[in-house]
Amino acid sequence: MGHSAAVWDFRAATEITKDWNGIDQVVLRTPQGASARVSLHGAQVTSWRNEHGEELLFTSSKTILKAPKAIRGGIPICFPQFGNCGSLELHGFARNRMWIVDENPPPLPANDSSGKSFVDLLLKSSEEDVKCWPFSFECRLRVSLTTKGDLTLISRIRNINGKPFSFSFAYHTYLLVSDISEIRIEGLETLDYLDNLSQKERFTEQGDAITFESEVDRVYLSSPNIIAVLDHERKRTYLIRKEGLPDVAVWNPWEKKSKLMVDFGDEEYKQMLCVDAAVIEKPVNLKPGEEWTGRLQLSVVPSSFCSDLLGLDKSGL
């Protein structure tokens, strides 16, 4: 980066405002005009816009804007449980807790600091959490926006307890798409997946890409570290790069299930697709003092650029 990027103070590009529910949110901006909003309720990214001001994440118009209900859209943090795979509330409690801003965060790595606007949010186990999940933890989420407008989320979960614990985790990412019938996912072909519509039965993906013509609710296993979601109508592609997150959950409720969700519009399934970088099949085990890191990077490129990139490198970041 040039000199101007090196002296760009992230604090000047970061502000705390109130969201529509009166809850504090952090707004990240780049000099080029890209932005992201992160609510302290659940540390949930609720908006990600490119330099043209175009929204890239889906949020339902019917979402219930009242805590403790999680917002239907954006990027909810699923911890310490994904879905209903344990005894806790759906997707765990982290997305329904108030996080705090770390005013003195660790610095960005030297090779990662040029021109990034970022914020660190913290969640520590409370008495309420310990009642339903009897472990002590510290969860740190760093959300950053590069000068190019790429969105990065890095979670660090530390066991500060005297006993080991295990957890599953996901960045439950709601992508905004033009028309679900025109969308394809590349990078998951030939993989095994668990089908939540068939009691988590294990299948092998047979298609050369994933397309959508009915409800899909799957967890793809041992996936590559770069996945592409191609939006044919908009001629753009979401690139999902990840580390420490071997699984990918793919979900679209389609017509019938959409009508059963009170916080989701009947026709909104056409404009959204969840593609979640996750660790689900084999939970993370942390001994006392150990820390786990999971990293997600989202970027948008012209679709013509994508296939070349996928062919060159599926190793990730």
> What share of the chain has pLDDT > 70, as a percent?
82
Q: What pLDDT, on the 0 to 100 scale, is given for residue 240?
A: 98
Q: What pLDDT, on the 0 to 100 scale, is given for residue 4?
A: 35
Euclidean distance between CA atoms 285 and 292, whole angstroms: 9
Q: Which domain holds residue 97?
A: 10-304
Q: What is the mean pLDDT of residues 52-64?
A: 89
Q: What pLDDT, on the 0 to 100 scale, is given for residue 161?
A: 79
Residue 56 resides in a domain: yes
Reported as a single tens digit per residue, the pLDDT across 203-239 is: 999 989 999 999 999 999 999 999 999 999 999 999 9
Residue 128 has pLDDT above 70, yes or no: yes
pLDDT confidence of 91, banded at 50, 70, 90?
low
The residue count of the chain comes to 317
9 versus 219: which is more confidently predicted? 219
Residue 1 resides in a domain: no
Euclidean distance between CA atoms 297 and 280, whole angstroms: 19
Residue 5 resides in a domain: no
Can you spell out the DSSP letters for 57-79? B-B-TT---STTSPPSBSB-EE-
Residue 124 resides in a domain: yes
Share in percent of the chain as helix, strand, coil (round to 5) = 15, 45, 45
Among 13-22, 71-80, 208-217, top mean pLDDT goes to 208-217
Residue 311 resides in a domain: no
Euclidean distance between CA atoms 208 and 16, whole angstroms: 44
Q: What pLDDT, on the 0 to 100 scale, is given for residue 9?
A: 47
| Number of domains comprising the chain | 1
Q: How far, in Å, are 196, 198, 209, 218, 281 from residue 201 at the CA level?
A: 7, 6, 20, 10, 12
C-beta of residue 246 within 8 angstroms of C-beta of residue 223: yes
Q: What pLDDT, on the 0 to 100 scale, is given for residue 11?
A: 46
Residue 315 resides in a domain: no
Residue 170 has pLDDT above 50, yes or no: yes
Q: What pLDDT, on the 0 to 100 scale, is given for residue 95?
A: 84
Q: What is the mean pLDDT of residues 29-40?
A: 94
Instruction: List, in order, residues 6 or more apart from 109 with CB less than 8 Å away.
Output: none
Angle at the Cα of 168 from the Cα atoms of 166 and 171, rounded to 5 degrees: 145
Q: What pLDDT, on the 0 to 100 scale, is given for residue 303?
A: 79
Amino acid symbol at 44: Q
256 versus 70: which is more confidently predicted? 256
Least confident of 9-13, 166-170, 197-201: 9-13
Continuous segment of H or E residues that includes residue 46: strand 44-49
Euclidean distance between CA atoms 51 and 146, whole angstroms: 11
pLDDT confidence of 312, banded at 50, 70, 90?
very low
- Structure tokens belonging to residue 100: 């705090």
Q: What pLDDT, on the 0 to 100 scale, is given for residue 86?
A: 52
Residue 313 has pLDDT above 50, yes or no: no
- Structure tokens belonging to residue 39: 């609510």
pTM assigned to the model = 0.89
Euclidean distance between CA atoms 81 and 240, whole angstroms: 22
Residue 254 resides in a domain: yes
Residue 111 resides in a domain: yes
Q: What is the mean pLDDT of the chain?
A: 86
Give the CATH number, domain containing residue 106: 2.70.98.10
